[in-house]
Amino acid sequence: MKRWLSLALLALCAALALTGCGQTPSEPVSSDVAGPPPVMERAEHLRILLPAGTNKDAVAEHTDAFCWALREELERQGWYVDTITVDVADNVNASGKALDDGAADLVILPASQYFPYSESAVLMMTATMPGLSVVSIDPADWNGSMDAPAYTDEDCPYRRTLICSTMSDRGRELARESKNGALTWEDVSSARWLLPRIATSSDFIYPDLWLQSAFGKTMDDLTDVHTIDGYGALFTEAGHGSADIIVIPADLRIDYAMAWQMGENDIDYTGKMGLGHADSIFNDIQVLGVTSTIYGDVMALSLADETLAGDSFRTALTAAMDVLEGNDAARAIWSACGYTGFTATGDSYYANISGLTLYGVGD
């Protein structure tokens, strides 16, 4: 009898145990065992190539932190990347070639260098820079030291190029004619033009578009065009009257405003040599023409690696870059390139230059 009661009690305990010791079967049972990890897509590498001219020391200082942050954010977007590297292009042409031959996966380069290789890559984002207080296409709004153009706190993905008169006698005459609204093709075609010897869309392509819009002509129709190394040398020659018209990015006079009025033996806080002029650069260097908007350097993803070229990775990369806008290391890397960050765009933002080739100018 006792043996039978013992067996009955054991059976009852076993039954209670199966129901969770008094819990109803419908109630969940807590557990410390984690569920299966989320499914991750995987890429072997993401080789990033920054544009020529980037501050390599600054890049070296922040590369490890940047790569770590980018890898973490890509993982949050569902992608694990084995290796992320960052390098700087030796020259502008090397960037386009890297896209063409698949030597780099993510290349940042001028738009004018991207489009010849656009069949080998997809445009992901556009670099941003500090905005400007003047956005008008009316040259008069850019002239004069009163209400002179200045930087704003807003990040902006585009700029304009300015066609400006110099301090030569002919340059001053052109400025007067422009104020009277009487600037003609004969005026600009008879002037001596000076451009920086830099292969960027702001220096060559957009002045070409301005000439087409204003006069139905192109840079090829000009007969007296010369180039010079560097913006400092360009402003020096403009101040000496060695040319009549110069072509500059819209923010360049802001950058040289202090140096313009400093003594020639002085150096401003950015390292620019003084140019020794009494009046403001916004009075001396007058704007004759303002180009259409110029969207900035592009972040292009190579199509050579099918894994990276797919929609899934492209979406993850854009989302990761958006998040890294607030990351100190990422902002330091972009600053080393001359940018404030990046914003998502596409080929359509560059419709006015996508079919053009870079204008070549020689002395």
Residue 114, pLDDT above cutoff 70: yes
Residue 83, pLDDT above cutoff 90: yes
Average pLDDT, rounded, for the chain: 86
**% residues pLDDT > 90 (the chain):** 71
| Residue 155 CA to its chain's centroid (Å) | 11
How many residues comprise the chain? 363
Residues 6+ apart with CB under 8 A from 75: 40
What's the CA gap between 278 and 263, in Å, rounded? 9
Render pLDDT for 297-353 as a digit per residue (tens, 0 to 9): 999 999 999 999 999 999 999 999 999 999 999 999 999 999 999 999 988 888 877
Query: What is the identity of the amino acid at 31?
Result: S
| Residue 354 confidence class, pLDDT cut points 50, 70, 90 | low
pLDDT at position 157: 95
pLDDT at position 258: 97
**% residues pLDDT > 70 (the chain):** 85
Render pLDDT for 204-217 as a digit per residue (tens, 0 to 9): 678 888 999 899 99
| Residue 19 confidence class, pLDDT cut points 50, 70, 90 | very low
pLDDT at position 358: 43
- 89-93 long-range contacts (CB < 8 A, ≥24 apart) are 89/49, 89/50, 89/51, 89/52, 89/54, 90/52, 91/52, 92/51, 92/52, 92/199
Residue 167, pLDDT above cutoff 60: yes
| Residue 355 confidence class, pLDDT cut points 50, 70, 90 | low
In which element (H, E) is residue 317 found?
A: helix 311-323
pLDDT at position 171: 97
Strands (E), 51-142: 79-88, 106-109, 121-132
pLDDT at position 182: 81
| Residue 198 confidence class, pLDDT cut points 50, 70, 90 | low
Q: What is the mean pLDDT of residues 147-159?
A: 94
Residue bearing tokens 């067996």 = 7
Q: What is the pTM of this model?
A: 0.78
Topology (CATH level 3) of domain 42-129+296-350: D-Maltodextrin-Binding Protein; domain 2 (3.40.190)
What φ, ψ does residue 194 adopt, rounded to 5°? -135, 125
Q: Quick check: 260 and 280 in contact, CB under 8 A?
A: yes
Q: What is the mean pLDDT of residues 153-168?
A: 94
Domain boundaries, the chain: 42-129+296-350, 138-291
Q: What is the mean pLDDT of residues 160-185?
A: 94
| Residue 20 confidence class, pLDDT cut points 50, 70, 90 | very low
Q: What is the mean pLDDT of residues 65-80?
A: 96
Render pLDDT for 213-262 as a digit per residue (tens, 0 to 9): 899 999 899 999 999 988 999 999 999 999 999 999 999 999 999 999 99
Q: Do domains 42-129+296-350 and 138-291 have the same CATH topology?
A: yes
pLDDT at position 27: 36
CATH class of 138-291: alpha beta
